[in-house]
A = this chain, B = another copy of it.
Amino acid sequence: MDENTALIQAYKTLRDKTVELCKPLAIEDYVIQSMDDVSPPKWHLAHTTWFFETFILKKFSKTYSEFNPLFHHLFNSYYNGIGLPYPRPKRGMLSRPTVESIYSYRKWVDDHVIHLLENSNNEIQSILKLGLNHEEQHQELLLMDIKYNLFMNPEFPAYVVTQTQADSQSKISQLDLIPIQGGISEIGYDKNDFCFDNELPKHKHLLQPFALGSRLVTNGEYLEFIKSGGYHQSNWWLADGWDYLQKNNWQHPLYWFQQENKWYEYSLNGGLKELNVNQPVTHVSYYEADAYARWKDTRLPTEAEWEYFVRKNKIKIDGNFLENNYLQAKTSSSNQFFGDVWEWTASSYSAYPGFKPFVGELGEYNGKFMSNQMVLRGGACVTPKNHIRISYRNFFQSEKRWQFSGIRLATNL
Protein backbone atom coordinates (compact mmCIF):
# COMPACT_ATOMS: atom_id res chain seq x y z
CA MET A 1 0.00 0.00 0.00
CA ASP A 2 1.53 3.33 -0.97
CA GLU A 3 1.69 6.24 1.46
CA ASN A 4 -1.28 8.05 -0.06
CA THR A 5 -3.53 5.04 0.11
CA ALA A 6 -2.45 4.39 3.66
CA LEU A 7 -3.12 7.95 4.63
CA ILE A 8 -6.54 7.91 3.02
CA GLN A 9 -7.29 4.78 4.96
CA ALA A 10 -6.04 6.27 8.21
CA TYR A 11 -7.98 9.44 7.56
CA LYS A 12 -11.25 7.62 6.94
CA THR A 13 -10.83 5.38 9.95
CA LEU A 14 -10.13 8.25 12.27
CA ARG A 15 -12.88 10.47 11.00
CA ASP A 16 -15.35 7.61 11.31
CA LYS A 17 -14.21 6.97 14.84
CA THR A 18 -15.01 10.55 15.88
CA VAL A 19 -18.50 10.21 14.47
CA GLU A 20 -18.92 6.88 16.21
CA LEU A 21 -18.06 8.50 19.54
CA CYS A 22 -21.06 10.79 19.05
CA LYS A 23 -23.50 7.99 18.32
CA PRO A 24 -24.84 7.76 21.88
CA LEU A 25 -25.69 11.46 21.93
CA ALA A 26 -29.11 13.02 21.53
CA ILE A 27 -29.13 16.08 19.28
CA GLU A 28 -29.51 18.22 22.39
CA ASP A 29 -26.27 16.80 23.83
CA TYR A 30 -24.29 18.16 20.89
CA VAL A 31 -25.17 21.75 21.74
CA ILE A 32 -24.40 22.53 25.37
CA GLN A 33 -21.30 23.94 27.05
CA SER A 34 -21.55 23.57 30.80
CA MET A 35 -18.36 25.46 31.64
CA ASP A 36 -15.90 27.62 29.73
CA ASP A 37 -13.33 24.82 29.50
CA VAL A 38 -15.60 22.42 27.67
CA SER A 39 -16.88 22.75 24.14
CA PRO A 40 -20.14 21.49 22.69
CA PRO A 41 -19.65 18.15 20.89
CA LYS A 42 -20.83 19.68 17.65
CA TRP A 43 -18.12 22.28 17.98
CA HIS A 44 -15.49 19.53 18.20
CA LEU A 45 -16.95 17.88 15.11
CA ALA A 46 -16.72 21.13 13.23
CA HIS A 47 -13.39 22.37 14.55
CA THR A 48 -11.50 19.20 13.63
CA THR A 49 -12.96 19.57 10.16
CA TRP A 50 -12.03 23.22 10.08
CA PHE A 51 -8.46 22.20 10.82
CA PHE A 52 -8.22 20.12 7.64
CA GLU A 53 -10.07 22.74 5.66
CA THR A 54 -7.87 25.59 6.86
CA PHE A 55 -4.43 24.04 6.88
CA ILE A 56 -4.79 21.63 3.98
CA LEU A 57 -7.62 22.38 1.56
CA LYS A 58 -7.31 26.14 1.59
CA LYS A 59 -3.54 25.93 1.25
CA PHE A 60 -3.12 23.09 -1.22
CA SER A 61 -6.33 22.49 -3.15
CA LYS A 62 -6.87 24.60 -6.21
CA THR A 63 -10.48 23.55 -6.64
CA TYR A 64 -11.74 23.74 -3.07
CA SER A 65 -14.50 26.22 -2.28
CA GLU A 66 -15.44 27.03 1.28
CA PHE A 67 -18.43 25.18 2.69
CA ASN A 68 -19.50 28.26 4.63
CA PRO A 69 -17.34 31.39 4.97
CA LEU A 70 -18.64 32.01 8.48
CA PHE A 71 -17.09 28.76 9.70
CA HIS A 72 -13.67 30.31 9.21
CA HIS A 73 -14.46 32.39 12.29
CA LEU A 74 -16.82 30.13 14.22
CA PHE A 75 -14.60 27.07 14.37
CA ASN A 76 -11.20 28.65 14.79
CA SER A 77 -10.12 27.63 18.28
CA TYR A 78 -7.15 29.86 19.04
CA TYR A 79 -5.18 30.52 15.86
CA ASN A 80 -4.85 34.29 15.92
CA GLY A 81 -2.64 34.08 12.84
CA ILE A 82 -5.64 32.78 10.87
CA GLY A 83 -8.10 35.43 12.04
CA LEU A 84 -10.10 36.33 15.11
CA PRO A 85 -11.47 33.18 16.79
CA TYR A 86 -15.09 33.11 17.95
CA PRO A 87 -15.02 33.61 21.76
CA ARG A 88 -14.59 30.30 23.53
CA PRO A 89 -17.13 30.87 26.37
CA LYS A 90 -19.84 31.53 23.78
CA ARG A 91 -19.57 28.24 21.92
CA GLY A 92 -22.63 26.96 23.74
CA MET A 93 -24.74 29.88 22.51
CA LEU A 94 -24.74 28.67 18.93
CA SER A 95 -27.73 26.57 17.96
CA ARG A 96 -26.80 26.96 14.31
CA PRO A 97 -25.19 25.48 12.32
CA THR A 98 -27.25 22.45 13.22
CA VAL A 99 -25.74 19.06 13.86
CA GLU A 100 -26.98 17.92 10.48
CA SER A 101 -25.27 20.85 8.82
CA ILE A 102 -22.03 20.06 10.60
CA TYR A 103 -22.17 16.48 9.40
CA SER A 104 -22.60 17.84 5.88
CA TYR A 105 -19.59 20.03 6.49
CA ARG A 106 -17.59 16.99 7.53
CA LYS A 107 -18.62 15.12 4.39
CA TRP A 108 -17.79 18.07 2.16
CA VAL A 109 -14.33 18.43 3.62
CA ASP A 110 -13.71 14.69 3.75
CA ASP A 111 -14.52 14.31 0.07
CA HIS A 112 -12.10 17.07 -0.81
CA VAL A 113 -9.36 15.87 1.47
CA ILE A 114 -9.57 12.33 0.14
CA HIS A 115 -9.50 13.63 -3.39
CA LEU A 116 -6.46 15.74 -2.61
CA LEU A 117 -4.70 12.86 -0.89
CA GLU A 118 -4.81 10.84 -4.03
CA ASN A 119 -2.04 13.06 -5.31
CA SER A 120 -0.45 14.54 -2.26
CA ASN A 121 3.10 15.55 -1.51
CA ASN A 122 5.33 15.47 1.54
CA GLU A 123 4.13 18.74 2.91
CA ILE A 124 0.49 17.77 2.66
CA GLN A 125 1.19 14.39 4.19
CA SER A 126 3.02 15.98 7.04
CA ILE A 127 0.23 18.41 7.87
CA LEU A 128 -2.34 15.70 7.37
CA LYS A 129 -0.63 13.61 10.03
CA LEU A 130 -0.76 16.57 12.33
CA GLY A 131 -4.47 16.91 11.53
CA LEU A 132 -5.02 13.27 12.43
CA ASN A 133 -3.19 13.67 15.71
CA HIS A 134 -5.16 16.82 16.33
CA GLU A 135 -8.42 14.97 15.84
CA GLU A 136 -7.23 12.19 18.15
CA GLN A 137 -6.76 14.83 20.82
CA HIS A 138 -10.28 16.03 20.20
CA GLN A 139 -11.64 12.49 20.50
CA GLU A 140 -10.35 12.55 24.05
CA LEU A 141 -11.64 16.09 24.60
CA LEU A 142 -15.04 15.03 23.27
CA LEU A 143 -15.31 12.37 25.95
CA MET A 144 -13.97 14.65 28.67
CA ASP A 145 -16.49 17.33 27.72
CA ILE A 146 -19.42 14.97 27.31
CA LYS A 147 -18.66 13.60 30.76
CA TYR A 148 -18.68 17.05 32.30
CA ASN A 149 -21.81 18.14 30.44
CA LEU A 150 -23.80 15.10 31.46
CA PHE A 151 -22.55 15.21 35.04
CA MET A 152 -23.84 18.78 35.42
CA ASN A 153 -27.33 17.49 34.70
CA PRO A 154 -29.23 16.53 37.85
CA GLU A 155 -30.42 13.41 36.01
CA PHE A 156 -26.80 12.17 35.82
CA PRO A 157 -27.40 10.43 32.51
CA ALA A 158 -24.79 7.87 31.46
CA TYR A 159 -23.02 8.32 28.14
CA VAL A 160 -23.09 4.59 27.51
CA VAL A 161 -23.60 1.52 29.60
CA THR A 162 -20.73 -0.67 28.46
CA GLN A 163 -19.72 -2.15 31.73
CA THR A 164 -21.33 -5.51 31.46
CA GLN A 165 -19.32 -6.88 34.32
CA ALA A 166 -18.20 -5.08 37.43
CA ASP A 167 -14.50 -4.40 37.66
CA SER A 168 -13.32 -6.75 40.37
CA GLN A 169 -12.65 -5.34 43.78
CA SER A 170 -9.99 -8.01 44.24
CA LYS A 171 -6.90 -7.42 46.28
CA ILE A 172 -4.34 -5.13 44.72
CA SER A 173 -0.60 -5.13 45.02
CA GLN A 174 1.27 -3.10 47.56
CA LEU A 175 2.52 0.31 46.44
CA ASP A 176 6.31 0.08 46.41
CA LEU A 177 8.75 2.80 45.59
CA ILE A 178 11.13 1.35 43.03
CA PRO A 179 14.60 2.86 43.22
CA ILE A 180 16.50 3.83 40.14
CA GLN A 181 20.01 5.15 39.67
CA GLY A 182 20.33 8.65 38.34
CA GLY A 183 22.74 9.74 35.65
CA ILE A 184 22.54 11.26 32.25
CA SER A 185 19.27 10.40 30.60
CA GLU A 186 17.97 11.20 27.17
CA ILE A 187 14.56 12.72 26.93
CA GLY A 188 12.42 13.68 23.95
CA TYR A 189 11.24 11.98 20.80
CA ASP A 190 13.82 9.69 19.21
CA LYS A 191 12.15 8.12 16.17
CA ASN A 192 11.42 9.24 12.64
CA ASP A 193 7.69 9.30 12.58
CA PHE A 194 5.26 11.97 13.68
CA CYS A 195 5.63 13.77 16.96
CA PHE A 196 4.57 17.15 18.32
CA ASP A 197 7.05 19.99 18.28
CA ASN A 198 7.08 20.12 22.08
CA GLU A 199 8.69 16.64 22.26
CA LEU A 200 11.78 17.90 20.46
CA PRO A 201 14.67 18.16 20.42
CA LYS A 202 15.77 14.99 22.10
CA HIS A 203 18.35 16.09 24.63
CA LYS A 204 20.40 14.95 27.58
CA HIS A 205 19.35 15.56 31.14
CA LEU A 206 21.10 14.86 34.45
CA LEU A 207 19.05 12.95 37.00
CA GLN A 208 19.69 12.38 40.68
CA PRO A 209 18.77 8.94 42.01
CA PHE A 210 15.06 8.58 42.75
CA ALA A 211 12.31 6.05 43.28
CA LEU A 212 8.99 5.75 41.50
CA GLY A 213 5.70 4.27 42.67
CA SER A 214 5.08 0.74 41.48
CA ARG A 215 1.47 1.55 40.74
CA LEU A 216 -1.00 4.44 40.69
CA VAL A 217 -2.59 5.78 43.87
CA THR A 218 -6.07 4.30 44.33
CA ASN A 219 -9.41 5.81 45.24
CA GLY A 220 -9.18 3.99 48.55
CA GLU A 221 -5.79 5.46 49.36
CA TYR A 222 -6.93 8.91 48.38
CA LEU A 223 -10.00 8.47 50.56
CA GLU A 224 -7.68 8.09 53.54
CA PHE A 225 -6.32 11.53 52.79
CA ILE A 226 -9.83 12.95 52.74
CA LYS A 227 -10.80 11.17 55.95
CA SER A 228 -7.69 12.44 57.72
CA GLY A 229 -8.90 16.00 57.06
CA GLY A 230 -6.62 16.68 54.13
CA TYR A 231 -9.00 19.15 52.49
CA HIS A 232 -9.13 21.19 55.68
CA GLN A 233 -5.42 21.41 56.53
CA SER A 234 -3.56 24.11 54.68
CA ASN A 235 -0.12 22.63 55.34
CA TRP A 236 -0.41 20.03 52.58
CA TRP A 237 -1.28 22.51 49.90
CA LEU A 238 0.46 24.91 47.60
CA ALA A 239 -0.70 28.45 48.37
CA ASP A 240 -2.53 28.78 45.04
CA GLY A 241 -4.16 25.40 45.58
CA TRP A 242 -5.36 26.27 49.06
CA ASP A 243 -6.91 29.48 47.73
CA TYR A 244 -8.58 27.66 44.89
CA LEU A 245 -9.85 24.88 47.14
CA GLN A 246 -11.44 27.39 49.48
CA LYS A 247 -13.00 29.54 46.79
CA ASN A 248 -14.49 26.48 45.10
CA ASN A 249 -15.21 24.57 48.25
CA TRP A 250 -13.41 21.43 47.11
CA GLN A 251 -13.92 18.45 49.37
CA HIS A 252 -12.95 15.58 47.06
CA PRO A 253 -12.01 14.80 43.45
CA LEU A 254 -14.31 15.92 40.68
CA TYR A 255 -17.16 13.46 39.95
CA TRP A 256 -17.16 12.09 43.48
CA PHE A 257 -19.89 12.63 45.96
CA GLN A 258 -20.99 11.24 49.24
CA GLN A 259 -24.49 10.19 50.18
CA GLU A 260 -25.41 8.64 53.49
CA ASN A 261 -21.81 7.74 54.26
CA LYS A 262 -21.28 6.03 50.96
CA TRP A 263 -19.06 7.39 48.21
CA TYR A 264 -20.16 7.49 44.60
CA GLU A 265 -18.46 8.41 41.38
CA TYR A 266 -19.96 9.59 38.13
CA SER A 267 -18.67 7.64 35.14
CA LEU A 268 -19.09 7.70 31.38
CA ASN A 269 -19.73 3.98 31.23
CA GLY A 270 -22.62 3.72 33.65
CA GLY A 271 -23.48 7.04 35.27
CA LEU A 272 -23.40 7.07 39.05
CA LYS A 273 -21.60 4.12 40.58
CA GLU A 274 -20.39 3.23 44.00
CA LEU A 275 -16.75 4.25 44.32
CA ASN A 276 -14.34 1.40 43.56
CA VAL A 277 -11.55 1.76 46.10
CA ASN A 278 -9.11 -0.28 44.04
CA GLN A 279 -9.27 1.83 40.92
CA PRO A 280 -6.76 4.63 40.41
CA VAL A 281 -7.97 7.95 41.72
CA THR A 282 -8.95 10.04 38.67
CA HIS A 283 -9.96 13.63 37.98
CA VAL A 284 -7.68 15.20 40.55
CA SER A 285 -6.01 18.55 39.97
CA TYR A 286 -2.27 19.09 40.22
CA TYR A 287 -2.93 20.77 43.55
CA GLU A 288 -4.64 17.66 44.87
CA ALA A 289 -2.00 15.31 43.47
CA ASP A 290 0.75 17.43 44.99
CA ALA A 291 -1.02 17.71 48.35
CA TYR A 292 -1.59 13.97 48.49
CA ALA A 293 2.07 13.30 47.71
CA ARG A 294 3.16 15.69 50.45
CA TRP A 295 0.77 14.04 52.91
CA LYS A 296 2.45 10.72 52.08
CA ASP A 297 5.86 12.36 52.61
CA THR A 298 6.66 11.81 48.94
CA ARG A 299 6.48 14.00 45.87
CA LEU A 300 5.39 13.82 42.25
CA PRO A 301 7.98 12.66 39.69
CA THR A 302 9.45 15.06 37.16
CA GLU A 303 8.69 14.31 33.54
CA ALA A 304 12.34 13.47 32.98
CA GLU A 305 12.23 10.91 35.79
CA TRP A 306 9.06 9.40 34.41
CA GLU A 307 10.42 9.11 30.89
CA TYR A 308 13.77 7.77 32.07
CA PHE A 309 12.10 5.12 34.21
CA VAL A 310 9.87 4.00 31.37
CA ARG A 311 12.73 3.82 28.87
CA LYS A 312 15.09 2.08 31.27
CA ASN A 313 12.48 -0.52 32.15
CA LYS A 314 11.40 -0.90 28.54
CA ILE A 315 7.78 -0.49 29.43
CA LYS A 316 5.51 -1.07 26.45
CA ILE A 317 2.79 1.30 25.37
CA ASP A 318 -0.04 -0.93 26.25
CA GLY A 319 -3.00 -0.70 28.55
CA ASN A 320 -6.52 0.56 28.94
CA PHE A 321 -6.98 3.05 26.07
CA LEU A 322 -9.92 4.42 24.15
CA GLU A 323 -10.02 1.31 21.94
CA ASN A 324 -11.07 -0.69 25.01
CA ASN A 325 -14.34 1.20 25.08
CA TYR A 326 -14.20 0.93 28.85
CA LEU A 327 -13.82 4.68 29.40
CA GLN A 328 -12.83 4.37 33.02
CA ALA A 329 -9.57 3.47 34.75
CA LYS A 330 -9.19 -0.18 35.71
CA THR A 331 -7.97 -1.65 38.98
CA SER A 332 -4.61 -0.25 39.97
CA SER A 333 -1.77 -2.56 39.02
CA SER A 334 1.93 -2.49 38.25
CA ASN A 335 1.27 -2.13 34.58
CA GLN A 336 -0.36 1.22 34.10
CA PHE A 337 2.28 3.66 32.97
CA PHE A 338 0.29 3.96 29.77
CA GLY A 339 -3.46 4.30 29.55
CA ASP A 340 -5.99 4.42 32.41
CA VAL A 341 -5.07 7.88 33.75
CA TRP A 342 -2.72 10.69 32.84
CA GLU A 343 -0.02 11.03 35.48
CA TRP A 344 0.70 14.48 36.86
CA THR A 345 4.38 15.36 36.94
CA ALA A 346 6.17 18.00 38.99
CA SER A 347 7.43 19.58 35.76
CA SER A 348 6.05 22.81 34.51
CA TYR A 349 5.33 22.78 30.80
CA SER A 350 8.26 24.55 29.18
CA ALA A 351 10.35 24.44 26.06
CA TYR A 352 13.05 21.82 25.69
CA PRO A 353 16.46 23.39 25.07
CA GLY A 354 16.49 24.20 21.38
CA PHE A 355 12.71 23.92 20.96
CA LYS A 356 11.39 25.06 17.58
CA PRO A 357 7.65 25.52 17.10
CA PHE A 358 5.90 24.17 14.00
CA VAL A 359 6.30 26.49 11.02
CA GLY A 360 3.83 29.27 10.23
CA GLU A 361 0.40 29.58 11.84
CA LEU A 362 0.70 26.04 13.17
CA GLY A 363 3.40 27.41 15.44
CA GLU A 364 0.53 28.40 17.71
CA TYR A 365 -0.29 24.72 18.25
CA ASN A 366 1.80 24.14 21.37
CA GLY A 367 4.44 26.77 22.05
CA LYS A 368 2.25 29.61 23.17
CA PHE A 369 0.81 27.55 25.99
CA MET A 370 4.15 27.11 27.72
CA SER A 371 3.28 29.03 30.87
CA ASN A 372 1.34 28.23 34.00
CA GLN A 373 0.73 24.60 33.07
CA MET A 374 2.06 21.29 34.33
CA VAL A 375 3.03 18.25 32.28
CA LEU A 376 1.14 14.96 32.43
CA ARG A 377 2.39 11.71 30.98
CA GLY A 378 1.17 8.35 29.76
CA GLY A 379 -2.33 8.76 28.34
CA ALA A 380 -5.67 7.66 29.73
CA CYS A 381 -8.61 5.35 29.11
CA VAL A 382 -10.06 7.95 26.73
CA THR A 383 -6.87 8.45 24.72
CA PRO A 384 -6.45 6.66 21.38
CA LYS A 385 -3.66 4.16 21.91
CA ASN A 386 -1.61 5.06 18.86
CA HIS A 387 -1.73 8.70 19.84
CA ILE A 388 0.65 8.12 22.74
CA ARG A 389 4.44 8.12 22.67
CA ILE A 390 6.96 7.66 25.46
CA SER A 391 7.93 11.27 24.90
CA TYR A 392 4.33 12.52 24.77
CA ARG A 393 3.69 15.65 26.85
CA ASN A 394 0.17 16.54 27.85
CA PHE A 395 -0.38 19.72 29.87
CA PHE A 396 -3.06 21.37 31.96
CA GLN A 397 -3.30 24.22 34.45
CA SER A 398 -2.82 23.14 38.03
CA GLU A 399 -6.46 23.57 38.98
CA LYS A 400 -8.01 21.66 36.08
CA ARG A 401 -9.47 18.26 36.74
CA TRP A 402 -11.98 17.38 34.09
CA GLN A 403 -9.24 15.50 32.27
CA PHE A 404 -8.62 11.88 33.37
CA SER A 405 -5.68 12.69 35.64
CA GLY A 406 -4.23 10.57 38.42
CA ILE A 407 -1.27 10.22 40.75
CA ARG A 408 2.00 8.31 40.70
CA LEU A 409 4.32 9.00 43.64
CA ALA A 410 8.07 9.48 43.68
CA THR A 411 10.82 10.17 46.22
CA ASN A 412 14.41 11.21 46.36
CA LEU A 413 16.95 8.62 47.33
* Residues in chain B near residue A160, CB distance under 8 A: none
Which of the residues B81, B234, B241, B346 comes within 8 Å of A81, measured between beta carbons?
B234
Main secondary structure of the interface of A (DSSP, over half): mixed
| Given known A237-B368, A398-B372, contact A149–B206 (CB-CB < 8 A) | no
Asked whether, in the complex, the Cβ of A368 is within 8 Å of the Cβ of B96, the reply is no
Taken residue by residue from 5 to 36, chain A's Cβ proximity to chain B (1 for < 8 Å, 0 otherwise) reads as 00000000000000000000011111111100
Whole-angstrom distance between the Cβ of A23 and the nearest chain B Cβ: 15
Q: How far is the CB of A127 from chain B (nearest CB, A)?
A: 19
Q: Is the CB of B26 within 8 A of A95?
A: yes
Q: Check A346/B354 contact, CB under 8 A, given A152-B93, A238-B370.
A: no
Contact indicator B97/A155 (Cβ below 8 Å): yes
Least CB distance from A66 to B in Å reads 14
What is the size category of the interface that chain A forms with chain B? 35 or more
Contacts of A398 in B (CB 8 A): 371-372
Q: Does A386 contact B (CB under 8 A)?
A: no
Q: Which residue of B lies closest to A208 (CB)?
A: B353
Q: Tell whether A70 is near chain B: CB-to-CB under 8 Å.
A: yes
Q: Is the CB of A153 within 8 A of B93?
A: yes
A103 at the interface (CB under 8 A from B): no
Residue A204 interfacial (CB < 8 Å): yes
Q: Say yes or no: is A240 at the interface (Cβ < 8 Å to chain B).
A: yes
Q: Of the candidates B29, B98, B152, which one forms a contact with A26 in the assembled complex, judged by CB atoms under 8 Å apart?
A: B98
Q: Check if A268 is an interface residue, CB within 8 A of chain B.
A: no
Question: Interface 1/0s, chain A 203-233, versus B by CB < 8 A?
Answer: 1111010100000000000000000000000
Q: How far is the CA of A205 from the CA of B203 in the complex (A)?
A: 13
Q: Quick check: A350 and B354 within 8 Å, CB to CB?
A: no
Convert A22-65 into 0s and 1s, putting 1 for each residue whose CB lies closer than 8 angstroms to a CB of B. 00001111111110000000100000000000000000000000
- Residues of B within 8 Å of A94, CB to CB, are 32, 153
Q: Is residue A178 within 8 Å, beta carbon to beta carbon, of the partner chain? A: no
A390 CB to closest chain B CB (Å) equals 20
Point out the residues of chain B lying under 8 angstroms from A299, CB to CB: 351
Given A32-B31, A239-B369, A96 contacting B206 (CB threshold 8 A): no
One of A72-80, A135-143, A316-324, A333-341 at the interface: A72-80
Q: How far apart are A103's CB and chain B's nearest CB, in angstroms?
A: 13
A30 near B32 with CB under 8 A, answer no
Q: Which of A348, A354, A364 has the most CB of B within 10 A?
A: A348
Given A93-B152, A95-B32, A80-B234 contact (CB < 8 Å) = yes
A350 contacts B350, C-beta separation under 8 Å: no
Contact A93 B149, beta carbon cutoff 8 Å: yes
Residues of the B chain whose Cβ atoms lie less than 8 Å from the Cβ of A290:
371
Report which of B95, B150, B238, B348 forms a contact with A31, defined as CB distance below 8 A. Answer: B95
Which residues does chain B contribute within 8 Å of A346, judged by CB atoms?
350-351
Tell whether A280 is near chain B: CB-to-CB under 8 Å: no
A258 at the interface (CB under 8 A from B): no
Distance from A111 Cβ to chain B, minimum over Cβ atoms (Å): 23
Task: Report B-chain residues with C-beta under 8 Å of the C-beta of A347.
Answer: 350
The 7 closest A-B pairs by CB, nearest first: A348-B348, A206-B206, A80-B234, A28-B95, A27-B27, A34-B93, A29-B95
Name 15 extra pairs, CB < 8 A, besides A26-B95, A27-B98, A31-B95: A27-B27, A28-B30, A28-B99, A32-B95, A74-B154, A80-B235, A92-B92, A94-B153, A184-B206, A210-B353, A238-B368, A238-B371, A242-B368, A353-B412, A372-B398
Return 17 A-B CB contacts under 8 Å, by A number.
A28-B95, A28-B99, A32-B32, A32-B92, A32-B93, A32-B94, A70-B154, A96-B153, A184-B206, A204-B208, A208-B354, A239-B368, A239-B369, A240-B372, A348-B350, A353-B412, A372-B398
